[in-house]
Every structure is written in structure tokens, then in C-alpha cells.
Amino acid sequence: MNQTQMKLVRIHAFGDSNVLSLDSVPVPELRDDEVLLRVHAASVNPVDFKIRSGGYPQVGESQLPYAMGRDASGVVQRVGKNIGSVQAGAEVYAMSDMTHGTYAEYVILKADQCAVRPTSIDHAHAAAVPLAALTAWQGLFDHGELSNGQRVLIHGGAGGVGHMAVQFARHAGAHVIATASAHDIDFVRELGADEVIDYHGEPFEQLVKNLDVVYDLIGGDTRDRSFKVLRRGGILVSTLGEPSREKADEYGVRVVGYKAKPSGEQLTRIAALIDEGEVRAHIAKTFRLEEAAAAQDFLEKGHLRGKVVLVDIASTP
């Protein structure tokens, strides 16, 4: 590799999308336990604009300049001395940790964050998968312990995480109920939901009850109203912080709030499901690396079906 400089998108201050800066920096040095990925596509997640605006407590002033992005699909350029599991030239996808941004021509990853990407889809669709799919997988199975025959309500079934969750839950043999806007009902049904509730219409708590699991991607009032639709001993899993313990006791249910973690091992299982045609990633819109601000604005504006992805990064001028 002759390239010594690379483009990446960073913030030097918190604010609106105007603070996103396409910077030129040296291609990072590799440690013995790391992998250098040539990024072809990177997806955009709500956490990105939460960090950018200064609304994400884990990223403070002391971490500026901060490199954006957690998802990547690309080609392994080089591997550190201690890496045996991944080789240069491998096409992998990954969710990075908080220390390296993927809106970049190259990103450093740990080998155990990477998995061989699904071969039946392109880099753009592969990049749409990691954070959203790992969040859904860990929420439903590691935390929610969802199993065959159980009934689950997924709030926000059309979004980045929700559209993955609906497909995973259906694949696991659960009875899947999801909430979505009216314009997304057919989309969520096609993903495999047994029932889709238009959340602008009748309140979901008047339509369902005695559920085993509620998977909450919305928070606030939606989460508060979810306690009463669980059976005693059921579980409310949320991506938006810890649900109320007091309410959990009142309703006799369990609650968990969690943050998704990188996992190459789970991404390998998810890649198999994608290549078997069991799960697909839906892209709402693609942008180029230099359009990262427009991409974040598009996601932040809301009402999305699936994911926003930065594409053709390897050919950024």
C-alpha cells in the first residue's frame, strides 16, 4: 500500500451537521493485534448524530477531534503480527468500538470485531448490517432470551434496528408483532411480522397483551405504556437506557437496558442468515463520504425505512 494519507470525517466541536469535517490524516499505524480495513461502505446510525451534537455522554470534549462512524464493509489491507484469523485481501464487515471511526478510507479494527461479509450482497448492503443487526440480535436473544413460539412486540419495526429485529424474531420462530407508521406496514409485513400496528392509530396496548418480550427502540411514553402488555415474568428490553425498576416491580416483569457490543462471531452467524436468504438489509438512501452531513441530516429527520449508507468510499477523490 503506497497511500500514506487518507480522508476521514471528524468533528472538532459539537453541533449540527456543519461541524462534520472531511479531513486528511495519515493512514493509522497498525498494532500487532489489529487489522487495517480499506473501507468501501460505512453506514450511518442515530448514535452518530447524537455524538455529533454533544448529546452522548460517552463522548466528551476531551475526545475531540472525534472520528465518526461504527459500521464498515471493506477489504482487509494489512494485519498485525498477532492476527491469525483474518488475512489481507479478505472481504469483511464489522462494527467498530468507539475509538476508531468508519466514515473513512481506512479504519483500524480488532480481529474479533470482523467477520467475512455476506457474499450474496454488495459492500453497501453489508455495511448497513453490523451495528443494527448486532443491536437487534443481542437485544432479542442475549437480553430478551426470545425463543420459538414466544410472542414479541417490536417498537419501530421499520427502522434500521427494527427491520433486522423483525426478521431475526421471525427466523427464531416467534410470533412477531411490530409497530410502524401506516406507510411502512406492508414493508414490515414483508419482513415477516405476523401483525403490524399503525402506532399513529389505535394505541398498541388496546390491541395486544400477555406478551413474552417487548423490544423497545423508541423510549419515552411508548416504553412506559409497554409494561402493561407483558405477561407476568415477561421482559422489556430497551436500547434507550434502563426502563423503570419501580414499574417493573409493579407489573411483575423484568427490564433491561443495554448497549450493543461488537462481535465478529455474531456477525458470522448473521452473514450466514443473509446468504441463506433468511434476512436482508434494506437501504433507505446512499450518500458519498463527502456528503456525510447530508446523510446524517437525512437520518435525523426520521421516518426511515431501513438504513442510510455512505458508499464508494474506496474511490473518494
Residue 131 and residue 70 in contact, taking contact as beta carbons nearer than 8 Å:
yes
Nearest to 66 by CA among 2, 17, 9, 123: 9
287 binds ligand NAP (CB under 6 A): no
* Options 181, 226, 266, 286; binder of ligand NAP; rule CB under 6 A: 181
Number of chain residues interacting with ligand NAP (CB under 6 A): 26
* Options 94, 95, 196, 217; binder of ligand NAP; rule CB under 6 A: 217
Residues 6+ apart with CB under 8 A from 192: 166, 167, 169, 170, 171, 176
Query: At closest approach, how far in Å is the CB of 233 from ligand NAP?
Result: 24
45 binds ligand NAP (CB under 6 A): yes
| Site track for ligand NAP across 138-177, x = CB under 6 A | -----------------xx-xxxxx---------------
129 binds ligand NAP (CB under 6 A): no
Long-range (24+ apart) CB contacts under 8 A made by 267-271 are: 267/93, 267/94, 267/95, 267/114, 267/115, 267/129, 267/130, 267/133, 267/134, 268/115, 268/116, 269/137, 270/115, 270/129, 270/133, 270/134, 270/137, 271/93, 271/115, 271/116, 271/117, 271/118
Complex with ligand NAP: residue 27 or 44, whichever CB lies closer: 44
Complex with ligand NAP: residue 79 or 270, whichever CB lies closer: 270
Distance CA 86, CA 214 (A): 37
| Site track for ligand NAP across 234-273, x = CB under 6 A | -----xx------------------xx-------------
Query: At closest approach, how far in Å is the CB of 259 from ligand NAP?
Result: 4
Query: At closest approach, how far in Å is the CB of 171 from ligand NAP?
Result: 18
Angle between helix 130-137 and helix 160-171 axes, rounded to 10 deg: 50
β-bridge mates for residue 118, sequence order:
none
Terminal-residue alpha carbon distance, the chain: 17
Residue 295 and residue 287 in contact, taking contact as beta carbons nearer than 8 Å:
yes
Query: At closest approach, how far in Å is the CB of 317 from ligand NAP?
Result: 29
Query: At closest approach, how far in Å is the CB of 109 from ligand NAP?
Result: 18
Query: At closest approach, how far in Å is the CB of 56 from ligand NAP?
Result: 9
279 binds ligand NAP (CB under 6 A): no
Q: Which stretch binds ligand NAP (CB under 6 A): 39-47, 59-67, 109-117, 122-130?
A: 39-47
302 binds ligand NAP (CB under 6 A): yes
Distance CA 41, CA 118 (A): 14
Query: Where does this chain bind ligand NAP (CB under 6 A)?
Result: 45-47, 132, 135, 155-156, 158-162, 179-181, 199, 217-218, 222, 239-240, 259-260, 302-304
